[in-house]
């Protein structure tokens, strides 16, 4: 019984470009989450005074909760880090705090009615719950 000689496989080419591409995509995903959070906050501020038949309908609250869930998930998935929930949360909360304050002229973007209060509390609590879920999630398996 003869044994065939083993074929030598050529060495695999180095994949030096993978790390910079990975870091670039993660950074782009994080920046996209920040920009999307800013746009989401502006949209919600525009929807806050929306009325139907003279009554506030509060559609901004639903948009805020749904959008903040998606933004939190997107930030964690693209950045690959659990702390990435703060990327969309910080600009969103800062915009809401600024919008709730009066200007020198006495204008206020986010009125203190039930929609404004529910918008701020609901949106902030959504980010809080998503951060808590991210903390409790099992660590992702390392890919090699």
pLDDT digits (tens, 9 = 90+) for 27-78: 999 999 999 999 999 999 999 999 999 999 999 999 999 999 999 999 999 9
Domain ranges, ordered by start, for the chain = 58-137
pTM of the model: 0.82
β partners of residue 51: 56
Q: How many CB atoms lie within 10 A of CB 17?
A: 8
Token pair recorded at residue 68: 């903040």
β partners of residue 5: none
pLDDT at 144 over 70: no
């Amino acid at each position: 019984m003869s044994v065939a000689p083993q074929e030598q496989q050529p060495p695999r080419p180095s994949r030096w470009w993978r790390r910079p591409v990975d870091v670039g995509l993660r950074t782009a995903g994080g920046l996209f989450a920040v920009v999307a959070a800013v746009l989401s906050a502006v949209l919600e501020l525009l929807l806050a005074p929306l009325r139907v038949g003279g009554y506030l309908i509060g559609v901004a609250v639903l948009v805020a909760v749904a959008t903040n869930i998606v933004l939190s998930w997107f930030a964690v998935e693209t950045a690959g880090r659990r702390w990435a929930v703060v990327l969309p949360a910080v600009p969103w909360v800062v915009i809401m705090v600024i919008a709730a304050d009066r200007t020198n002229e006495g204008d206020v973007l986010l009125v203190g009615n039930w929609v404004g209060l529910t918008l701020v509390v609901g949106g902030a609590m959504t980010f809080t719950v998503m951060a808590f879920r991210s903390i409790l999630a099992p660590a992702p398996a390392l890919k090699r």
